[in-house]
């Protein structure tokens, strides 16, 4: 698989909330044929995407939860199918070390190829491939997503939550409801959980790109920060890469209307054009770099150039609006938000799905320990522990990436000079560069 270098840092604080339980309704002694009949389950996960499926697999594959009934709900009528002859998906993610550890616990392995594990900072994997692997493993534990199943509404009972599903007569009575239903989470809305959010007035354009035949091993992820937004190229194979291009809202329609030839030309220019370079800044940066090379140990480097794009895969181009979102609470009594239902981040750092998988790891570890201790895993005591950990980590990540996006969205010369000098220093100073590499590999 492929290497990815991301250099990120975080520093922020967060407040926490306290809750009191006030059940809204109590329904008991249901008859199987009555409208009020409810199927009793232990854990209900709403949302069969990557994060929801990973959450279900974490529980299903754990001996500690072997006697617990797990239900996975999916609102779609079908899930992605993968075949060797199918073109690359335009939805691609860079999985970091923590995400990989989650899959390895569930016995999902990643081919190392010719790269050693120690040299791999991340794995570039298609959305549909991860999804298919998760679903195959879930089948082995007799857990399959219930398709066309969306939570219409829920209400509290004395020791559970009763869930009404759309277009289904049978309700669910669950000890714990986990919402993994995306950034437009209907469950979050029903729970009246407020959010901090804003629109970046930007769109992310994705596509699958074909590379020139004479390219060497395609093992490096490329990212360039332009005044209009970052553009990134993630390696898929020696012949293909995946594009993530951030552009202003006012530009995205124009770019999407370009012919394939014009689109390819625009991408190559975005990676190589000197249009956005500031001659004065370059002069200052080169002088400082020359000085640093004389006084600090330099990192061994190999001169590399961005891949040459020759074509775009048919029907792989797509665009989506970019927003920042963070729920002000991640939990309520017997209710937990994970993944995009709890937080949404700018894609420039490729951390969105990794943050979701870290939610899964954190919540699973807390609830597993509760069961080992003989406690009620759905107790608010344990859910708030999850919130304390993840609110701090996620809000830190969200705001640091937001700040980085704003830093690289300006063309103000002093700021451009400072950020260029900073990156040059990191690149020349090996210990600091390795520190940031380690932080990227284990980021939350």
Distance CA 72, CA 43 (A): 9
| Res 412: pLDDT | 56
- Contacts of 241 by beta carbon, 8 Å cutoff, 6+ apart: 208, 209, 211, 218, 233, 234, 235, 307, 309
Distance CA 3, CA 437 (A): 11
Residues of the chain with CATH 3.30.9.10: 200-318+410-441
Distance CA 38, CA 60 (A): 22
Distance CA 75, CA 343 (A): 20
Of the pLDDT bands very low, low, confident and very high (cuts 50, 70, 90), residue 31 is: very low
List residues bridging with 86 in a β-sheet: none
Q: Is 81 left (phi over 0), alpha (psi -120 to 50) or beta?
A: beta
Which residue in 64, 70, 65, 78 sits closest to 45, CA to CA?
Answer: 70
| Res 387: pLDDT | 98
Residues of the chain with CATH 3.50.50.60: 38-198+324-406
Distance CA 202, CA 199 (A): 8
Q: Please, what is the average pLDDT of the chain?
A: 80
E strand or H helix at 263: helix 260-272
Q: Across 328-383, where does the E strand assignment appear?
A: 331-332, 335-337, 343-344
| Res 262: pLDDT | 97
Asked if 355 and 345 touch (Cβ cutoff 8 Å), the reply is yes
| Res 26: pLDDT | 37
Q: What are phi and psi of 335, to 5 degrees?
A: -135, 135
Could you tell me the CATH superfamily of domain 200-318+410-441?
A: D-Amino Acid Oxidase, subunit A, domain 2 (3.30.9.10)
Higher pLDDT: 117 or 312? It is: 312
**Mean pLDDT, rounded, for 315-326:** 95
Tell me what percent of the residues of the chain surpass a pLDDT of 70: 72
Asked if 13 and 148 touch (Cβ cutoff 8 Å), the reply is no
Which residue in 248, 242, 237 sits closest to 199, CA to CA?
Answer: 248
Angle between helices 279-295 and 413-428 (to 10 degrees): 30
CA distances from 244 to 11, 117, 203, 232 (A): 26, 25, 10, 5
Higher pLDDT: 170 or 444? It is: 170
Write the pLDDT tens digit of every residue in 400-441: 888 777 776 666 556 555 655 555 555 555 555 555 555 555
For the domain covering 38-198+324-406, report its CATH number: 3.50.50.60
Write the pLDDT tens digit of every residue in 242-290: 999 999 999 999 999 999 999 999 999 999 887 655 444 444 445 445 5
Sign of CA dihedral 173, 176, 177, 178: negative
Helical spans, DSSP H, in 37-149:
50-60, 97-105, 127-140
Q: What is the pTM of this model?
A: 0.82
Distance CA 224, CA 230 (A): 6
Of the pLDDT bands very low, low, confident and very high (cuts 50, 70, 90), residue 214 is: low
Q: Is 253 left (phi over 0), alpha (psi -120 to 50) or beta?
A: alpha
Distance CA 162, CA 36 (A): 10
In 3-state terms, what secondary structure has residue 200?
strand
Write the pLDDT tens digit of every residue in 75-99: 998 887 777 778 888 899 888 888 8
Write the pLDDT tens digit of every residue in 156-201: 999 999 999 987 777 999 999 999 999 999 999 999 999 999 999 9
Tell me what percent of the residues of the chain surpass a pLDDT of 90: 54
What's the first-to-final CA gap in the chain, in angstroms? 21
């Amino acid at each position: 698989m492929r290497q990815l270098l991301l250099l990120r840092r975080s520093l922020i604080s967060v407040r926490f909330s306290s809750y009191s339980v006030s059940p809204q309704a109590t329904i008991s002694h249901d008859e199987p044929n009555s409208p009020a009949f409810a199927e009793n389950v232990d854990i209900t996960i709403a949302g069969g995407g990557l994060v929801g499926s990973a959450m279900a697999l974490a529980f299903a594959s754990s001996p500690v939860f072997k006697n617990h009934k797990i239900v996975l709900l999916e609102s779609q009528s079908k899930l992605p199918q993968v075949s060797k002859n199918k073109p690359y998906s335009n939805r691609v993610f860079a999985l970091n070390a923590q995400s990989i550890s989650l899959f390895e616990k569930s016995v999902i392995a990643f081919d190392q190829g010719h790269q050693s594990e120690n040299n791999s900072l991340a794995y570039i994997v298609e959305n549909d491939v991860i999804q298919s692997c998760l679903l195959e493993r879930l089948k082995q534990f007799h857990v399959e997503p219930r398709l066309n199943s969306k939570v219409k509404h829920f209400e509290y009972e004395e020791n559970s939550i009763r869930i009404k599903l759309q277009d289904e007569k049978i309700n669910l009575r669950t000890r714990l409801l986990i919402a993994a239903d995306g950034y437009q989470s209907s469950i979050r809305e029903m729970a009246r959980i407020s959010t901090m959010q804003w629109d970046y007035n930007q769109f992310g354009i994705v596509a699958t790109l074909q590379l020139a035949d004479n390219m060497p091993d395609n093992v490096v992820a490329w990212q360039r920060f332009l005044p209009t937004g970052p553009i990134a190229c993630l390696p898929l194979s020696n012949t293909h890469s995946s594009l993530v291009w951030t552009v202003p809202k006012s530009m995205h329609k124009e770019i999407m209307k370009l012919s394939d030839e014009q689109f390819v030309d625009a991408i190559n220019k975005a990676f190589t054009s000197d249009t956005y370079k500031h001659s004065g800044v370059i002069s200052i940066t080169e002088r400082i770099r020359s000085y640093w090379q004389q006084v600090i140990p330099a990192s061994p480097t190999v001169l590399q150039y961005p891949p040459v794009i020759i074509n775009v895969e048919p029907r792989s181009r797509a665009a989506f609006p970019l927003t920042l979102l963070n729920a002000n609470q991640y939990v309520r009594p017997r209710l937990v938000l994970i993944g995009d239902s709890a937080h949404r981040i700018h894609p420039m750092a490729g951390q969105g799905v990794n943050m979701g998988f870290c939610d899964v790891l954190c919540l699973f570890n807390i609830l597993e320990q509760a069961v080992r201790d003989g406690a009620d895993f759905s107790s608010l005591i344990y859910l708030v522990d999850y919130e304390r950990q993840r609110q701090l980590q996620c809000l830190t990540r969200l705001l640091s990436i937001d700040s980085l996006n704003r830093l690289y969205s300006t063309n103000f010369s002093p700021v451009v000079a400072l950020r260029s000098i900073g990156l040059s220093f990191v690149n020349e100073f090996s210990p600091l560069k390795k520190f940031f590499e380690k932080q990227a590999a284990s980021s939350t």
